[in-house]
Structure 1
Amino acid sequence: MPVVEHAAIDTWELVSATQGGDFAAFAGIYRRYARVIADYAYAKTGDHATAEDIASETFLRALRSIGSVRDLGKDLGSWLTTIARNVTFDMAKSGWSRNAAVTAQPPETVAREGIPEEDVLRELDRAALRLAITQLTPDQQECLWWRFFANRSVSETARHIGRNAAAVRALQHRAVRRLGELLPPSLVSPDDSGSAMTGLPPLPKKESRT
């Protein structure tokens, strides 16, 4: 049997191959999306260990249900992040948030000598931002994650979350406005664009409508 170079074929071909019993193809899916899912989980939890647990469980569930997934014109990452979101909710019910709160609290860095005050304040700001993001709706969180943590365009985000560009812009606007209400004034830029929020990459300028 010839060896298939998984890196050179389409993701949905990997799905089809996995459905046909080629579980090495699933390893190709894992390699393509493991970092995306781990980053998504970390953005949700703020805790690396919990994010790794979520990512592992996500791919386990994905493998179990790979037979039911179909190519509907979306990137496979959309299906995987939906699973990751469900895993996050399930783990939250089991109490992971209490553990994450202990391991992710940035004030622990204060006890380490030699840490500049600016770095401690920056960590506190990031913690405030993560906490605020958890208070957004799931759709708003997913939109912000794809737009700013994964650095995707409006059109790419729309494809990932299964919405049109106008819906993504509306979600983004409501999410940033809500963050402006939740965050301390020092973390929000005067024009409420979000560009001054510490811990997030600068928000891209709004795309012109043509």
Structure 2
Amino acid sequence: MPLLDLPDCVNARDLGGTPLAGGATVRMRALLRSDNHDLLTADGIAAVRELGVARILDLRHGWEAREFPSPFEDDEIYLNLPLLGVYPGFDPTAPDDYRPEVEHAPERVAAAFTALADAPPGPVLIHCHGGRDRTGILTALALAAAGAAHEDIVADYALTEGTDPQTMRDLLDHFDREHQGVTAYLTESGVDRRRLRAVQRRLTAP
């Protein structure tokens, strides 16, 4: 997956080239990911605009977006949609485990996925604070919905600094075991088939 030069942004890359079912790949400049944008330099901001980004999905909590504001917060391309809530028993010091998080607030996950599906034509840039957990979850859901295999989703996740690939394997296995797959989880969470097809079309290279 090509890295993106967005000074001073980290974990910034294009998901283009990720293998999909049937020999297809993810379209270049369809789905981008990064950490938060409050440290972007003027050159970094210009680079985002030069990419022609049509939608920025900021998955951070509202308080994070206020404390570390995005330089795009007043732009029509920007949308803040907190992906996860703090669920009962949440322990920020515990090892990463996304399974309780996706079960606690499936409606938020569905809203973020729907926003990806409904975005205007052009690149969609997903980010959270570090570009790891919440970004990793939504990216995994999008790739899986488009037909990416588990190992390729895990491989992308592992490119992000500070990740344990087993965390993503556990999440994907959870979707299979408890929901009969990612598509079924998204449908149960409120994503309609039209939005699922829209994400497939957006990501799949012709």
- Give the structure-2-normalised TM-score: 0.31
Higher-RCO chain (CA-CA 8 Å, sequence separation at least 6):
2
Larger Rg belongs to: 1
The structure where strand makes up a greater share of residues is: 2
- Whose helix fraction is larger, Structure 1's or Structure 2's? 1
